[in-house]
A and B are shown apart, each in its own frame.
Chain A
Amino acid sequence: MLIPLLLGITFITFALAKALPGDPVYSMVGERASPEIIEKIRNELGAGKSIFRQYGGYLLLLSQGELGRSYYTNRKVAEDILTKAPQTFKLAFMAMLIAVPAGLLLGLASALSRRHWVDRTISGLVISGMSLPVFWSGLMLMFLLSLKLKLLPPSGTGGLQYVLLPAMTLALPALSSLARVTRIAVLDSRDMPYIRTARAKGLQEVRIIAAHVMRNALIPVVTVIGLDFGSYLSGAVLTETIFGWDGIGRFAMEGIIKRDYPVIMGCILVSTLSFVIINMLVDMLYQYLDPRLRIR
């Protein structure tokens, strides 16, 4: 399924990119290039060929394991993506490292204290976290943690010190949706007959929550984690731009703005691939979490 899916994605992206108005050559050559040079560059980029021939050429390139070269920098897109992918992975992983435990804890706390002020406070925070756009929450975190408290550097790509701020920004919507899903899943499973059975067996409340309530609540939670992680691996465009993080999202954004088609195509292809792989892993995890889904 993977190959037809990727082929379909390449075709749709290619067609959409070519259908957009604008000509990358005008941005490449500055203000005063001669018409001959503009034409020469257009020919070198293959802009004069039919879209099908251009697409065929791109597929040929892919079959050789290449993603082409950037129109602007002439660097290999695959090499650029390989240097940026670990950064994006680091950011996505760190964001999930913050979001998952925090989201689960908040969701659980909210469910266990239903209708208590704690539940209402957490629900309010969760709705805010889901509604706030990252460019606002990111700048607010930067203002607070960098400018006022001087705890973290505002921007840059690097180790823990640099990744925390963008990771927290990304984690905010993720932990909010996780907390919400966890709360609902815990509340749902808490009323199930097997919980009453566990309680009748005299099990301790902590054990019931950990082994029975949470385990059964994990299926929707894992789905949300998978979707969020997959989308972060595709690059968090705004977060990476605000914090100057050198990842795939920022790379893709710059490609889109400059109409750098090989960069756009390469980023979308890699993003799709990582999204599909994450979803496959999530599917495999379902079978582990829920024995009913195992293929016999």
Chain B
Amino acid sequence: MNPCRPVVFTARSFALIFVLGLALIPGLSCSPQNRPKGQAIYRLNADPTTLDPAYIVDVTGGAIAAKLFNGLVRLDPELRVIPDIARTWEIQDGGGTYVFHLRDDVSFSNGRVVTAEDFRYSFERLLSPKGRSPNTWVLDKMLGAKAYIQGSADHIRGVEVLDPHTLRIRLERPFAPFLQLLTMTAAFVVPRETVERLGSDFAVHPLGTGPFVLTEWKHNTELVLLGNPSYYSGKPPMSSIRYRIIPEDLTAVTEFELSNIDVIGVPAYEYSRFRSSDRWKGLLSSSQGINTYYIGFNCARPPFDNPELRKAVAAAIDRETILRTFYEGRGRLASGPVPDILRHWPAPVLPAYDPVRARALVLSSADRHPVINFYVNPDQEVVDIAEIIQWYLAKAGIQVRIRQLEWSAYKAAINNGEADMFWLSWWADYPDPENFLFPLFHSSNHGAGGNRSRYTNREVDRLIESGQRAADVRERNQYYMKAEHIIAGEMPWVFMWHKTDFTLRQPYLKNYHMYPIYSIDKGTEVSF
């Protein structure tokens, strides 16, 4: 027998409790705190590691640094090199010497005028033997750079200050994309007195010449950039930019839908919804990404030291169907390693999808029943694609074992050549075909240098080196074309596609543009 009398709860009493509970949180709202007039709010998916240009390797840091700093030159939206702090320049000695004439009206945000000496200091700081900048490769083509890096010279011999506003840079040997290198974050100018006063704290209290000044950085929460009234080309239309750090995509989408963020990168799983939504009609922007997605083969060991087997894999995969269905057309099929937007020559013709030929090629190879270790990173989209590829290859008689590793272990594994086959993409550091050939296919870059397929072809090496040195653009393109055609013929990769990125913006944001390289966006065009 139950000694206690049951206490009766009715549906009405539950409703009452719920309403009372809600009444306890009056005044709560999901809208943002009153944003200052003219402030744009953007999203970052991670806290920048550093904002010191010499040490930035992540896109997040680079995108912010582009608004805080300037270099000698920069890129315009058509990817042409245009003046930044250098008003004009001359190229001499067949591309071996550059003379830059600097503007005299550019100051750091502490008010001091920028001189050629500041550039010399910034370049030497980047290459300093005492530092450990991972970006030394950006400037190591300068004459005497290697001796300086090794500590056997006091200065970089090739960098000379001719007068306060003239800088001469001589290279070890002509390097055609040198101006593009100077548009990169690592080549931005920094003020010596501030860097020396702050030491390593310069990474969190950066001070530059850019259109914005960093005023607040709450790590892992937000950064606030205030418009620089003394910016050399005028104060930007936006009074400030607030970057909110939101790691989770779904959370960012919710914030965007509540107008708490002004622009978001569209996650793959939201693409269809946003594209077909009336509410967001006309607000979706896209940019042809300067990237190449590929399946890399380890060409230095069996089974993929056999080009025929590489071709069999390529012929077995229906890239077009995967791109159209799984990727919903968010990209363009690749014809080789170089993105179409950078290619100024006829594209290589890749073999079409042909499962019958693929199977025949497998059967005619020495190892008729290969089992392939296919390494992928933990990104769910990549894992899904890997499973699709596994299915296609099984049809061709190739058994694939997918090895999914987290990023750090994955990079170590492919750098060390442990994978038979791996999924990866390459995004441009600077918009020149050389950036898609030298690091990825030159035999001096095996492993962590970028050539993870360990591809070696002396003729390709020679052609790429000749292209790097050729001052004439047509001659250069000839070298690059020959190199790309040889590579496409030997297939150290299955060239998958060039991914297109999408962003979605709020209707009240004016003059918003999406750029293929983050350094183009100085934040000086957008307004309300």
Contact = CB atoms under 8 A, between A and B. Distances in A.
Interface of A: 20-24, 26-38, 40-41, 44, 72-75, 80, 83-84, 109, 112-114, 116, 118, 139, 142-143, 145-147, 150-157, 160-161, 164, 190, 195-196, 199, 205, 241-244, 246, 250-251, 254, 257-259
A84 B107 CA distance: 37
B406 A22 contact: yes
Contacts of A114: 2, 6
A195 B470 CA distance: 96
B16 interface: no
A152 B7 contact: no
Contact of B248 (A35, A146, A199, A241): A241
Given A80-B219, A113-B6, A161-B28, A32 B412 contact: no
A22 B134 CA distance: 19
B251 A33 contact: no
A26 B448 contact: yes
B220 A251 contact: yes
A151 B449 CA distance: 51
Contact of A113 (B7, B28, B246, B412): B7
- 6 smallest beta-carbon distances between A and B, as pairs: A30-B57, A22-B408, A22-B409, A29-B134, A33-B134, A21-B409
B472 interface: no
Interface in B173-218: 200, 203-204, 218
Contacts of B511: none
Given A113-B7, A242-B251, A27 B257 contact: no
Contact of B50 (A73, A118, A254): A73
Nearest to B410: A22
B7 A27 contact: no
Contacts of B8: 113, 116, 118
B411 A154 contact: no
A162 B412 CA distance: 39
B251 A32 contact: no
Nearest to A213: B4
Interface in B250-295: 250-251, 254-255, 257-258, 260
Interface string B1-43: 0111111110000000000001001001111100000000000
17 contacts: A22-B405, A23-B411, A28-B57, A30-B134, A40-B132, A74-B50, A112-B7, A151-B30, A154-B251, A154-B254, A154-B255, A154-B260, A155-B244, A190-B4, A195-B3, A244-B221, A257-B407
Given A74-B200, A154-B251, A250-B220, A23 B134 contact: no
A205 B134 contact: no
Contact of B132 (A37, A109, A155, A259): A37
B409 A143 contact: no
Contacts of B465: none
Q: Is the interface of A mostly helix, strand, loop or mixed?
A: helix
B262 to A, nearest CB: 15
Contacts of A33: 134-137, 448
A250 B7 contact: no
Q: Which of B57, B134, B135 has the most CB of A within 10 A?
A: B134
B439 interface: yes
Contact of B439 (A32, A143, A259): A32
A147 B134 contact: no
Given A33-B137, A37-B132, A147-B258, A154 B412 contact: no
Contacts of A29: 57, 134
Contacts of B133: 37
A244 B246 CA distance: 5
B57 A246 contact: no
A157 B251 CA distance: 13
Nearest to B48: A73
Given A112-B6, A116-B6, A142-B254, A154 B30 contact: yes
Interface in B432-447: 439
Given A32-B137, A190-B3, 20 more contacts: A21-B412, A22-B407, A32-B134, A32-B450, A35-B448, A37-B133, A84-B220, A112-B4, A112-B7, A113-B9, A118-B9, A142-B251, A147-B30, A150-B31, A151-B22, A153-B32, A195-B3, A205-B5, A244-B246, A246-B221
